[in-house]
Structure 1
Amino acid sequence: MVKIKNIGIVNILLTLILITFVIPPPILNPILLGVLFSFVIIRHFIHKQNINKNNFNKVSFFFVLYFFVLLLSLFYSQDVANGIGVIGRSISFLLIPVIPLFISKEEINLEFIVKAYIYYLCLIFFYLIFVAIYKNIHEGYTLGYIFDKLRGGEIENGKYHYINYWYFVYDKFTSPLNIQPIYLGLFTNLGLIFIFYLKKIKKIKFYYFFLLILGLLVLLTASRWQILIFAINYFIFIIFFLKLRSYKKILLLTSLVSLILIVSIINPVTRTRLKESIIIKENFYKDQFGGTSIRLNKWISATKCISNSPMFGYGVGDGKNKLLEQFKKDKFYLGFYNKFNAHNQYLDTLLYVGVVGLFILLLIFYYSYKYAINNIYMILITNVFSIGFVTESMLNRQWGIISFSFFLIMFSIFVFKKENNLENNF
């Protein structure tokens, strides 16, 4: 274990950036990113260090290019004020690729960073469970109440049978952190990837404990797509990267499926959300949690809108407004009045910057997967975003914008080392 004094300020700041993806208020994350940027720049000029040109790869290049495509689209946007807001939120696409230029690969200790992140996510899980239990007790769902109902006691009006299960799932579960379930699911999936890799290189103790805790955290966020991504990544890891006998692999995969089914059956909220994800015949106004019925309406309208300006889109200022106009034309008033986005980042990109922007976005993923040939955690990290973009417009929110560029750039450049003899580089 590396001594604290040898960790270095850069590693500490990177760890804090990871932690503040999840801890409120959200402004802490970009502030710390700015602190890291300022620190490495100032250190560079004080010590007259060389620029690490090899730390600017093709993933970094296409993020910068994507930013400039967004910037250029401002010139053909009518709503310039809105467009400037989008550009301001996207500045990390330009900022994050620059940071590794002033950091040497030798000073980065990914093992320390990701372990701290995993431990923190476990603390988050127990904190959220504690809050959910506290809220239940506050509403009268004590052990005495539960035992009474198990013995057949009469249920009071307005009360649940045993507990208020809403506090243990989805938005009411994540509300103490003021974060949307989809993003807590995303950040937990990234933590699970690090657990997988640490298991692969035999650098983690109590693997199954951490796997169970973070697996439950993903399931309790009840983000359907993030649960699917967890299952896909777990399948890939078990089948292709973990050296076990076939019967053990089958047992582990069966255990995951069983865990998902048990959590889904126990909690009515999760059951309803899973049901909505596979039923598309219901009218969208019957859809309680924004499932497939609503998404199909969004995607159909977005596709119609894109067809009128496919090559360059409508610009960062007007893309959302054009979609809302299409919602109104299609009489999808729920989407119009709630100002929904396309709920698909690939469609959103086409709306803003057309085929040109989408091509650059796909190149980011292409090179992320290419750099993952000898780097299994990059395969799984890239999966989180490339698959997640299918049902979420992640680049409309700070959580998605910063995490997308941060994880793909930093983890495609810096790698895990078996030996970490770090010096304090300040």
Structure 2
Amino acid sequence: MIFRKPCSLLIILFAVFNLIFLKKAKYSKTSLILMGCIASPILLELLLFWNNDSFVKGLKAIEKSTSLIVFPLFIIGNYKRVKFFRIVEIYTLATTFVLLFFFIRFVIVFPELINKYLGGTDLWEMGYKFSDSIGIHAPALNMHLAFVSVCTLYFVFYSFSNREKTIFKIGRIAVFILSFFFVLFVNTRMALVNVLAGFIILLFLDLKAKINLKKLLLTSLALLFLLGGILFLFIQKNPYMKEKYSTATFAYMDKVGKLDEIDHPEVKVFNSLVTRLSIWKSAWELSLKNLPFGVGASDGKKELVKYYKQTNQQFLAKYKFQTHNQFLDSFLKFGFFGPMIVLLYIFTIGYLGYDLRNAIILSFFLLFFTSNLTDDFLLRFDGIAFSGFWFSIFSSYWLQQKTTLYKDPVIV
């Protein structure tokens, strides 16, 4: 999932393998509805394909979303074979150890950056440099890592509640600490907020049903102590975190839409909230001018940059900022239909988690929903494949639980 080319190749192999055994896939009315929800973003692109100025760029936009057809078609079609917790466990372990390998590689290959980091200089760039070294955008990488960290904590609690051997408990705790460290090291704001929110959901939803109040309080205090210790040690080595999460984020809030009035905005507000608000303001204004069908899937960024120039926002035009909000991006590209489809896509995940009272699914929903408020992950291959895969897994798990409660006859 983290690496686009291997991920693309594996999706192709996955599709070919499943086509060979297509007769084994079974579909019901309910599963077809879920498949439609998962495929809704690409179906919207196909429906409004005529609105693209460029045929080739329109096809390229659709190509990034083909996993939203492949995953639900074959995963949900074989939902009875999906082993939900086993897949989550393998995914979290594999991702954590892959990141550990690339972290060790980063330390060896870029010792000068590590020395700067340990010396307390240019701390703001470290997470982005690490992400660039493995070829992925830092917020996208940390979206994966935040989900992994929540899942590893789930398996720590699972280990204790099921009284696994001490060696397994220690191993699971070590994997959790590693995964949480990587979230802190990449250090993107939304991921850190979401991973902490995921921990809270896990504590008060999943554990509340399994252990008594006294044990819950003791577990909460132990977790708070562990996380507090990790955060304290990390902030001691990375004092820029204090500035990043306070003054750096909320600086120059009176300059929304007027960033060129700031002296050297690329230094002072490149990643600040005021820059996002300025982008969103422009995207909103441009979207309203292109109702009801938007500017087209292939033309969103081009038209937005053109609008920056028209409104004399040279800083935004120079760096060609994308929308950084999936709801606004879809509104700009597809008009009224865009935000409706994004809401359908994301909130269906939330419904599955709520209906199952499943902390892992609810944490994923919160993570993906909030991440798309400050970025546009249904525009990026990694966000599309990541969400499409897990949405299909969650749907399969939901179908497994519900087929014991009511009959859902196979129609295909």
Compute the TM-score of the two structures, normalised by the length of structure 1: 0.78
CA apart distance, 1:81: 3.0
Deviation per residue, 1:147-180 (Å, 9 max, x gap) = xxxxxxxxxxxx8884777599312223331222
Matching residue of 2:186: 221
Distance 1:193 1:125, change over 3 A: same
Deviation per residue, 1:355-375 (Å, 9 max, x gap) = 212112212222222211213
Distance 1:175 1:322, change over 3 A: closer
Q: In 2, distance between residues paired with 1:134 and 1:50?
A: 47
Matching residue of 1:189: 146
Range that drifts further, 123-132 or 215-224: 123-132
Matching residue of 2:395: 412
Corresponding position: 1:350 with 2:363: no
Deviation per residue, 1:239-289 (Å, 9 max, x gap) = 333243435424523543553354234225544533422334474434365
Q: In 2, distance between residues paired with 1:184 and 1:248?
A: 29
Are the aligned partners of 1:238 and 1:249 in contact in 2 as well (CA < 8 Å)?
yes
Q: In 2, distance between residues paired with 1:67 and 1:140?
A: 42
Deviation per residue, 1:57-93 (Å, 9 max, x gap) = 5442123233221122221232333222212212222
- For residues 68-217 of structure 1, the aligned pairs below 5 Å read 68-105=43-80, 107-135=81-109, 137=111, 162=119, 169-199=126-156, 201-202=158-159, 205-206=169-170, 207-217=172-182
Q: In 2, distance between residues paired with 1:415 and 1:259?
A: 35
CA apart distance, 1:215: 0.7
Q: In 1, distance between residues paired with 2:117 and 2:82?
A: 51
Are the aligned partners of 2:71 and 2:392 in contact in 1 as well (CA < 8 Å)?
yes
Deviation per residue, 1:322-378 (Å, 9 max, x gap) = 211221123222222222111111110101112212112212222222211213321
- For residues 24-423 of structure 1, the aligned pairs below 5 Å read 24=3, 26-44=4-22, 48-49=23-24, 51-53=26-28, 56=31, 58-105=33-80, 107-135=81-109, 137=111, 162=119, 169-199=126-156, 201-202=158-159, 205-206=169-170, 207-242=172-207, 243=211, 244-246=215-217, 248-253=219-224, 255-257=226-228, 259-274=230-245, 275-281=247-253, 283=262, 284-287=265-268, 289-372=270-353, 373-374=355-356, 375-414=358-397
Are the aligned partners of 1:166 and 1:173 in contact in 2 as well (CA < 8 Å)?
no
More helix by share: 2
Which letter maps to 1:411? F
Q: Secondary structure at the match of 1:396?
A: coil
Matching residue of 1:148: none
Structure 1 residues not aligned, in runs of 5+: 1-20, 142-158, 419-426
Which letter maps to 1:37? A
Q: Secondary structure at the match of 1:298?
A: helix
Are the aligned partners of 1:166 and 1:172 in contact in 2 as well (CA < 8 Å)?
no
Are the aligned partners of 2:75 and 2:82 in contact in 1 as well (CA < 8 Å)?
no
Count matched residues: 375
Are the aligned partners of 1:170 and 1:220 in contact in 2 as well (CA < 8 Å)?
yes
Q: Calculate the aligned-residue CA RMSD, in Å.
A: 3.1
Range that drifts further, 112-121 or 222-231: 112-121
Q: In 2, distance between residues paired with 1:88 and 1:118?
A: 27
Are the aligned partners of 2:291 and 2:336 in contact in 1 as well (CA < 8 Å)?
yes
Structure 2 residues not aligned, in runs of 5+: 163-167, 256-261, 402-412
Q: In 2, distance between residues paired with 1:161 and 1:385?
A: 32
Are the aligned partners of 2:147 and 2:364 in contact in 1 as well (CA < 8 Å)?
yes
Q: In 1, distance between residues paired with 2:125 and 2:304?
A: 35
Deviation per residue, 1:289-314 (Å, 9 max, x gap) = 52212111111111111121343222
State the identity as a percent. 19
Deviation per residue, 1:30-76 (Å, 9 max, x gap) = 211121111112123xxx43524367254421232332211222212
Range that drifts further, 312-321 or 55-64: 55-64
Q: Secondary structure at the match of 2:235?
A: helix
Q: In 2, distance between residues paired with 1:139 and 1:125?
A: 17
Q: In 2, distance between residues paired with 1:56 and 1:368?
A: 14
Which letter maps to 1:60? M
Q: Which segments of structure 1 move beyond 6 Å, counting only runs of 4 or more? A: 415-418
CA apart distance, 1:392: 0.6
Distance 1:29 1:132, change over 3 A: closer
Are the aligned partners of 1:182 and 1:226 in contact in 2 as well (CA < 8 Å)?
yes
Which letter maps to 1:401? I
Deviation per residue, 1:114-173 (Å, 9 max, x gap) = 3222222332343244234324657895xxxxxxxxxxxxxxxxx888477759931222
